[in-house]
Amino acid sequence: MREAEQRRQIERLFSVAELGPRFEDCTFANWQPRPGAVQAYKAALDYTEQHRSYLANGRGLIIFGPPGNGKSHLAAAIVNALIGQGVSCVFRTVPSLLKTIQATWDEDIGVTEHGLIQALISADLVVLDDAGAEKWSEWSEATLYYVIDERYRWKRPVIVTSNCSWKNLKRGLERGHSTGSSKHVCLSRTGPRATGERLQENG
């Protein structure tokens, strides 16, 4: 499939309009600095500014930390900035992505499972939002492994957001045999929600 055709296919299957009203307006400009989230902000902004190098090297980013502290906001800010610059992006929560793939099994959604997965593999950037929130099954693990590993082979990055602990995330990545791709990942951690508790920055 030619590049322009492939891009249209990705846009049709994974329309960024599906980001939804909460995330379609997320930018770096409307990000408010919060204690504990500054490192993640800097990493996401650097990713956007240096995206040519990150994309060329297949380097992804993992943003992990407690709920409600802007992980998805930052990932959406990256996507919103990059689609304006012609980068083909997919932004999906892992549960929603798996449901879309399953829908190809018994509904005519205009694409086969293979076609959908190929589009996922060929996008310039894929954001797997809320990794770890999916219901585990051998199929979901094998599918995610396949997508991540194929993208790794083709030097195409994945950005992951998750509120799993780093220990669990690492175990998940290792189980998926994608330790190779995680080598290239720049880690960042958002802090606790501003609840008045003592907040700590993590690098």
Ligand X SMILES: Nc1ncnc2c1ncn2[C@@H]1O[C@H](COP(=O)(O)OP(=O)(O)OP(=O)(O)O)[C@@H](O)[C@H]1O
**Interface residue list for ligand X (CB under 6 A):** 22, 26, 31-32, 34, 37, 67-73, 130, 161, 163
Q: What is the token pair recorded at 131? A: 């990794």
Report in angstroms how near the CB of residue 68 gets to ligand X at its nearest: 5
Report in angstroms how near the CB of residue 48 gets to ligand X at its nearest: 16
Judged by CB under 5 A, does residue 72 bind Mg ion? yes
Residue pair 182/57 in contact by the 8 Å Cβ criterion: no
DSSP letter, residue 58: T
Residue pair 156/35 in contact by the 8 Å Cβ criterion: no
**Residue 116 or 125 having the CB closest to ligand X:** 125
The CA radius of gyration of the chain, in Å to the nearest whole number, is 16
Amino acid at 35: P
Residue 32 binds: one of Mg ion, ligand X, none (C-beta under 5 to 8 A by kind): ligand X
**Which of these ranges, 41-49, 67-75, 147-155, 168-176, lies near Mg ion under the rule CB under 5 A?**
67-75
Amino acid at 179: T
Residues that bind Mg ion (CB under 5 A): 71-72
